[in-house]
Amino acid sequence: MNIHHTLKIAVSGVTTHKSRSALTILGIVIGITGIMLMVSIGSGAENLILGEIGGLGAETIIIRPGREPSGPSDVGATLFADSLKSRDVELLRRKSNVPDLVDIMPILIIPGSVAYKNETYSPQIFGGSIEFFANAFNLALEAGSFFDDADIREKASVAVIGSKVKDELFGPSDAVGESITIKNKKFRVQGVLAKRGQASFVNFDEVVLVPYTTAQTYLLGTDYYHEVMVKASSPEAVGRAVQDIEATLRESHNITDPDKDDFFVVTQQGAIDQIKTIINALTTFLSSVVAIALVVGGIGVMNIMLVSVTERTREIGLRKALGATNKDILRQFLLEAVILTGVGGLIGIALGAVFGFVASIILTEYANLDWDFVFPISAAILGITVSALVGLVFGIYPASQAAKKSPMEALRYE
């Protein structure tokens, strides 16, 4: 019997009971849909995060206090570490210590809200250098001016605010020259940023930027920084700069054993590699969990195929009496199983793509994320391949049971 005739009979066997076939492949559909959705969302998240990190530029180096986190539980300890201080920044500024350093900016994260008259708003408040921020994130002014190094040295009470902060506090009125209150301290609004949106995990429309010296002295009362950003002369110089930074800080902190560092340095490439590893591991884990549905679906296919073999015992006997061989019967029922799971795989791929697209729209519209929809071609190919293999593996036993039936006994079966 040729393969065309066998395929025709197999398709007829699958379509005879459409409702039963649909319910049989439900587990396969759920499994493949879940895998497609996980990989699509994982790829979208990776693109978003890498885009945010890449926005800083390859020559940017970030120095963070405390030991490098080895897990989620270590992140809190890093946030409250106090090992980066003014003396460290001054040592890093020296060309003799870090020849490839072009610019440096300490950063302070200030919790709280901002008030103007009867209006209150809770933006992201940072102490830093507006010129560094502007160069790193391509910020422009809508009104007023940036504060400068003189304001930083003098611990001036000045601020630059984002466009949304201006709208929330001042409405259509001019903000430049007005005073806002942060932690009971008055700050004169010196500039308003033009609309910029999200960049490297910061929405610059919702920020208030003040000199880091002012923030350290009047808002936080600390003698340390939450982070220090460094710009190297070129991407190629990053490696040398990192070595010089580590050597300078170890000498400043009297550290002789690198394993006892109370700081860690993050480069953009290092952050990208780390994020890729984390997302790939998480996607693989979630996809593995979802893949359990494929096993359940495969068992369901085997169960229904066994029922089908029992129901069609007389058909099997008749076909054998007309000359069909055990191989023909085996091939027919294997093809039926593969067709069932293959169709389930195709439906799962389509549903996974639709759900992934809908998820990207929701995340873009309602979460204000620059989320791109990604159709994972490799996951689609893997999905259809795995679904066909599930049909083949779980269809072997029912097909072999059908092939073993004696034609005489099968014809007498009621």
Q: What are phi and psi of 152, to 5 degrees?
A: -65, -45
Return the pLDDT at 285: 77
Rounded-to-integer distance, Cα 353 and Cα 32, Å = 10
Residue pLDDT, tens place only, 203-215: 889 999 999 999 9
Read off the pLDDT of each residue in 41-61 and give the average, rounded to a whole number.
Answer: 73
**Token pair of 154, please?**
């003098």
Instruction: Using pLDDT thresholds of 50, 70 and 90, give the confidence band for residue 22.
Output: confident
Read off the pLDDT of each residue in 251-278 and give the average, rounded to a whole number.
Answer: 82
Single-letter amino acid code for the residue at 171 = G
Residue pLDDT, tens place only, 182-225: 999 999 999 999 998 777 668 889 999 999 999 999 999 888 99
Cα 118 to Cα 110, 160, 181: the distances in Å are 21, 20, 11
The count of C-alpha atoms lying within 13 angstroms of the C-alpha of 348, restricted to the half-sphere facing its C-beta, is 36
Return the pLDDT at 56: 63
User: What's the mean pLDDT when you consider all of the chain?
Assistant: 84
Read off the pLDDT of each residue in 86-107 and give the average, rounded to a whole number.
Answer: 93
Read off the pLDDT of each residue in 363-392 and give the average, rounded to a whole number.
Answer: 83
Q: What is the Cα 161 distance to its own chain's centre?
A: 29
Return the pLDDT at 73: 47
Angle at CA 99, nearest 5°, toward 95 and 103?
75
Return the pLDDT at 87: 93
Angle at CA 88, nearest 5°, toward 266 and 227?
40
Instruction: Using pLDDT thresholds of 50, 70 and 90, give the confidence band for residue 55.
Output: low
Which has more confidence, 378 or 148? 148
Return the pLDDT at 413: 55
Rounded-to-integer distance, Cα 110 and Cα 208, Å = 10
Return the pLDDT at 245: 94
Q: Are 193 and 160 in contact (CB under 8 A)?
A: yes
Q: Are 62 and 227 in contact (CB under 8 A)?
A: yes
Return the pLDDT at 71: 52
Rounded-to-integer distance, Cα 202 and Cα 198, Å = 6
Rounded-to-integer distance, Cα 414 and Cα 396, Å = 25
Q: Hey, which residues does 105 pair with through a beta bridge?
A: 229
Rounded-to-integer distance, Cα 74 and Cα 58, Å = 26
Instruction: Using pLDDT thresholds of 50, 70 and 90, give the confidence band for residue 51.
Output: low
Which has more confidence, 399 or 159? 159
Burial class (CB in 10 A: 0-12, 13-18, 19+), 340: buried
Rounded-to-integer distance, Cα 304 and Cα 20, Å = 8
Return the pLDDT at 57: 65
Q: What pTM was estimated for this model as a whole?
A: 0.60
Return the pLDDT at 404: 79
**Token pair of 24, please?**
């049989």
Share of the chain above pLDDT 70, in %: 86
Share of the chain above pLDDT 90, in %: 36
Residue corresponding to tokens 């009867």: 118
Which has more confidence, 31 or 7? 31
Return the pLDDT at 52: 62
Residue pLDDT, tens place only, 237-253: 888 999 999 999 999 99
Read off the pLDDT of each residue in 406-412 and give the average, rounded to a whole number.
Answer: 62
**Token pair of 174, please?**
């001019």
Q: In this model, does residue 278 exceed pLDDT 80?
A: no
3-state per-residue secondary structure call for the chain: CCHHHHHHHHHHHHHCCHHHHHHHCHHHHHHHHHHHHHHHHHHHHHHHHHHHHHCCCCCEEEEEECCCCCCHHHHHHHHCCCCCEHHHHHHHHCCCCCCCEEEEEEEEEECCCEEECCEEECCEEEEECHHHHHHHHCCCEEEECCCCHHHHHCCCCEEEECHHHHHHHHCCCCCCCCEEEECCEEEEEEEEECCCCEECCEEHHHEEEEEHHHHHHHHHCCCECCEEEEEECCHHHHHHHHHHHHHHHHHHCCCCCHHHCCEEEEEHHHHHHHHHHHHHHHHHHHHHHHCHHHHHHHHHHHHHHHHHHHHCHHHHHHHHHCCCCHHHHHHHHHHHHHHHHHHHHHHHHHHHHHHHHHHHHHHHHCCCCCCCCCCCHHHHHHHHHHHHHHHHHHHHHHHHHHHCCCHHHHHHCC
Instruction: Using pLDDT thresholds of 50, 70 and 90, give the confidence band for residue 287.
Output: confident
Return the pLDDT at 246: 93
Rounded-to-integer distance, Cα 135 and Cα 168, Å = 26
Q: What are phi and psi of 351, to 5 degrees?
A: -65, -40
Return the pLDDT at 227: 92
Residue pLDDT, tens place only, 111-170: 999 999 889 999 999 999 988 888 888 889 999 999 999 999 999 999 999 999 999 999
**Residue among 316, 328, 322 nearest 411 (CA):** 316
The count of C-alpha atoms lying within 13 angstroms of the C-alpha of 263, restricted to the half-sphere facing its C-beta, is 29
